Structure 1
Amino acid sequence: MTHVASQFASSYVFYWRDYFEDQPLLYPPGFDGRVVLYPSNQTLKDYLSWRQADCHINNLYNTVYWTLIQRSGLTPTQAQERLKGTLAADKNEILFSQFSINYNNEPLMYRKGTVLIWQKVDEVTTKEVKLPAEMEGRTMAVTRTSMKPVPLHCDIIGDAFWKEHPEILEGNS
């Protein structure tokens, strides 16, 4: 796992300019990687549910915080003070009543985060095939199935995700 975190960090820096041409990378990034063995599938699901709920809580806070700064003209200190002690319902009310933003309509990517799962993906490629009796080869489409990491933006707290992807918790996935 440390190799994965290291490789990701170096790739992040290496490819930064490909995605953010006019914005210099101001500080070197650091990424955490760890392997944890959970005693049961339920414990794993509980952990992942907690992480997704944490993503939601952080995004809701940041959405309100930056909206207060950018659209109300509050300073960062004032926005932080305004949000101190608020609950999720309070933050939703601020967004809706002051800015006509229904947080539930924000893209799932922000509200739920990104989940990467391995899925079978069919890849169609063209291949030239030449049989011994033929003078010229033929081009034909060939479909190959491989496992690829696929990003999903969905709720993993409920049962629907786990019913749609039972292979995640199976021993041979």
Structure 2
Amino acid sequence: MANSEYEYVRHFEQPDTLPPSNWIIVRIDGRGFSKLSAKYAFAKPNDKRALDLMNAAAVETVRALFDVVLAYGQSDEYSFVFHEACTLFDRRAAKLATTVATLFTAEYCMLWPTFFPDTPLTRPWPTFDGRCVAYPKRRILRDYLSWRQADCHVNNLYNTTFWALVLKGEMGNREAEEALKGTLARDKNEILWSRFGVNYNDEEVVFRKGTVVYRKLEGVGPLGGSSRTQVEKERKRKMKAEIAVEHVDIIGDGFWEERPYILAGKRGASEEE
């Protein structure tokens, strides 16, 4: 860029580089999705087509960004995990957040006809915002993902019970809200079973657990190193890998013990937590 008398304006830009050796989460959320779900008459409490669309957009986002080691989604949000050694955009928060949000938004809009073939997408288009958070330890990163999956369960149990009262129990929205005020999980389960014959544990697992997206790299150890050749080999390996979409528990240790490579450091999964 040529020097000019106006170049001083660059000094107003604020540095936003995230600290090294931290796992980076970019969480995207749908903007105004309550209105969007009403506009396109999404089924309540869950619209499988809408969740499948979210998951398909997440898969393409993961495919495009090989620095992402895992993504977890529920409702209209998705969290993308960047490896602690990630150097993409020099770890600049704004660059990472806007890249993920715009990429996901573009995929969501382009894939819409696949899942809603009889419902044309019109303005205002769906959009997603994004934010970055850095976590210094794997344990804290896992706690974050556990928090999001626990949130999925809590919200889905509430919504399942709420819409059962409204759609099957013929309550008004406010009446249903009052009926659920102060209730615990066991109370909601009792309402579903005693009044509507619904066993919450029989609800589709995608509704209860959310969705995990990751690359299958079983049997392949970390390549290690940071030379250009090694980085390129790592990129090609990840770009060729199958992308898995699963609805499983990630709060317990089972998922991680069976797939230690997901959160492995450059020297392997046994590094200090």
Which residue of structure 2 lines up, in the alignment, with residue 84 of structure 1?
Answer: 181
* Corresponding position: 1:168 with 2:265: no
Give the distance between the partners of 2:188 and 2:243, measured in 1 at CA. Answer: 34
Q: Check if 1:93 corresponds to 2:190.
A: yes
Matches within 5 A, 1:18-57: 18-25=114-121, 27-57=124-154
Q: CA distance change for structure 1 residues 119 and 48 in 2, over 3 Å: closer, same or farther?
A: same
| AA matched with 2:119 | Q
How far residue 24 of structure 1 moved from its aligned partner, in angstroms, is 4.2
In the TM superposition, what is the alpha-carbon distance from 1:10 to its structure 2 partner?
2.1
- Note the alpha carbon deviations across 1:89-114, whole angstroms, 9 max, x for none: 11111011111111112121111100
Structure 1: gaps (5+ residues)? 122-144
Where do 5+ consecutive residues of structure 2 fail to align? 1-95, 219-238, 269-273
Task: Choose between structure 1 and 2 for higher RCO, CA contacts under 8 A separated by at least 6 residues.
Answer: 2
Counterpart-to-counterpart distance in 2, 1:113 and 1:19: 18
Distance 2:127 2:157 in 1: 24
Deviates more, 1:32-41 or 1:74-83: 32-41
Cα pair distance change 1:82/1:25, threshold 3 Å = farther
Identity of aligned residues (%): 51
> Alpha carbons of 1:85 and 1:31: their partners in 2 closer, same or farther (altered >3 Å)?
same
RMSD over aligned CA atoms reads 2.0
Aligned pair 1:146/2:230, yes or no? Answer: no
Give runs of ≥4 in structure 1 deviating > 6 Å: none
Residue in 2 aligned with 1:16? 112
Give SS of 1:73's match: coil
Matched position secondary structure for 1:33: strand
TM score, norm. by length of structure 2: 0.51
CA contact (8 A) 2:101 2:130 kept: yes
The equivalent residue for 2:171 is 74
Decide which moves more: 84-93 or 18-27.
18-27
CA contact (8 A) 1:117 1:151 kept: yes
SS at match of 2:147: helix
1: CA distance, partners of 2:187 / 2:203 = 17
2:202 alignment counterpart = 105
Contact 1:120/1:146 (8 A) holds in 2: no
Larger Rg belongs to: 1
Which stretch of structure 1 is more off in the superposition, 26-35 or 77-86?
26-35
Letter in 1 for 2:253: D
What is the CA distance between 1:14 and its match in structure 2? 2.7
Q: 1:18 is matched by which residue type in structure 2? A: T
Number of equivalenced pairs: 150
